[in-house]
Amino acid sequence: MSKNYDLVILGGGMGGYISAIRARQLGKTVALVEKGKLGGTCLHKGCIPTKALLKSAEVFQTVKKCGRFGVKVKELALNYVEAFERKNTVVDKLYQGVQQLMKKHRVDVYKGVARLLGPSIFSPMAGAVSVEMGEVNETLIGKNVLIATGARPRQLSQIPVDHAHILTSDDLLDLDHLPTSLTIIGGGVIGVEWASMMLDFDIDVTLIEQEAALLPGFDADIQTEVLNQLKQRGLTVHLNASVMESEVNGGACLVKGRKDNAPFTVSSSHVLVSVGRIANTDQLGLGNTNITVDEAGFIEVNDYFQTKESHIYAVGDCIGGKQLAHVASAEGKLAVKHMFDEKLDLTPLSFIPSCVYASPEVAMVGLTEVEANQMFTKIKTATFPFQAIGKAIVSDETKGFVKLVVNEKTRDCLGVSIVGEKATELISEAGIGLVLNASIDEFGETIHPHPSLSEAIAEASLLAMNEPVHI
């Protein structure tokens, strides 16, 4: 049996379900195929559950420090089982919301495994979708197809994951008790967030990173600040280090590595392997089409997210790039606009905010200082510390800063990096400014509420204008 649609979407994560909603808003018929739960990695294995646990960790630390605010607590205890259950409750509430959205917008959802077909009796073009739903098979024929199948944790052959002691981030989210100690392999965003969370839960953490700094791709000053703060909180770090092998012996996990040509061994109750993600493209039947993938398995697309089959698009983690939920949703909406001949503006894709929900929080948009120096002949930077901001002092959160990268000739702001309290909330102002090609004058002369952490953006702009006020 076959059914026809204007758009068939493979994958029900952020890239998939938001694209479905946009297509329905344009009056198009939409089918969405998801083998697991609607909401995808972000909702079930990524953004949301980790942030729920990070919030519990933050509250735990806040209460421990409440004496500084004149608040006394007689007894403080962490109940991780309740924090774990709260995480599940948050996820379930949002999951129900996504399900309701699909019903509201009348998107036909198929729970099953999708596979692309080549030219057949169903369609002269490649791209008809076979859906296996247990004992029932359905064939969906779309005028357009959107692949949004996401990615999964990459593993290391020398550190085999056993899902009991040596874990991926997916496994760690399913662990209903805290490790007594944790070794993290990989100092990217996911590794740093888990390191911060476990430190807040008073767990001993060792982090191993093969590069010279944590958070590759972020501004060097941000990398240094995050490293220093995490070390002050008790993190043991091995940079420029490689991992060679692992061993599980009783209740101990041993990770053996090399640093500065010398061997080292780390022992912990659990190990988190956090070394990037690989595309979920290997079981899609891409070989039945002209769609190409790169060496890592990510689908190759043009600027409008079209594959080599012009009616088949791909967005989100399965095409590589910045593997972020908000990127997938933005790409999905742009792809839908393109396939249905709507006016679209690709400018916002050049100014994607990247965030780290650790303690300290980190956020950046635009160029780093190194990137700007490679592209422009003369730039300047301005760094304004939160310790000079009244609201930061009120909150007793004075560590960190706002850093601007500026084109000295045009006075355009090229990039903004923030490390400190509420950085992930503050970055949106910078993002809007960069999309609108704002100058430091416009940032600096915009009236910001007082007292607020957002004043740091204005103060950094005034500093870049050589008109500093509070420093």
Residues labelled as active-site residues: 450
In sequence order, what DSSP letters do the residues of 424-466 get, joined into one string?
HHHHHHHHHHHHTT-BHHHHHHSPPPSS-TTHHHHHHHHHHTT
Q: Is 181 helix (H, G, I), strand (E, B) or coil?
A: strand
Tokens 């040596």 belong to 166
SS3 state of residue 97: helix
| CB atoms near residue 469 (< 10 Å) | 11
SS (H, E, C) 212-273: CCCCCCCCHHHHHHHHHHHHHCCCEEECCEEEEEEEEECCEEEEEEEECCEEEEEEECEEEE
Alpha helices in 363-422 (DSSP H): 369-375, 390-395
Two structure tokens written together for 352: 């994607």
Name the binding residues: 51, 186-193, 209, 276, 317
434 and 457 in contact (C-beta within 8 Å)?
no
The answer to whether the beta carbons of residues 150 and 284 sit under 8 Å apart is: no
Query: What are 45's two structure tokens?
Result: 């294995």
Buried b (16+ CB within 10 A) or exposed e, 190-229: bbbbbbbbbbbbebbbbbbbbeebbbeebbebbbebbbeb
**DSSP bridge pairs for 2:** 139
Other CB atoms within 10 Å distance of the CB of residue 37: 17
Query: Which residues belong to the annotated binding site for FAD?
Result: 51, 317
437-447: b (≥16 Cβ within 10 Å) or e: ebbbbebbeee
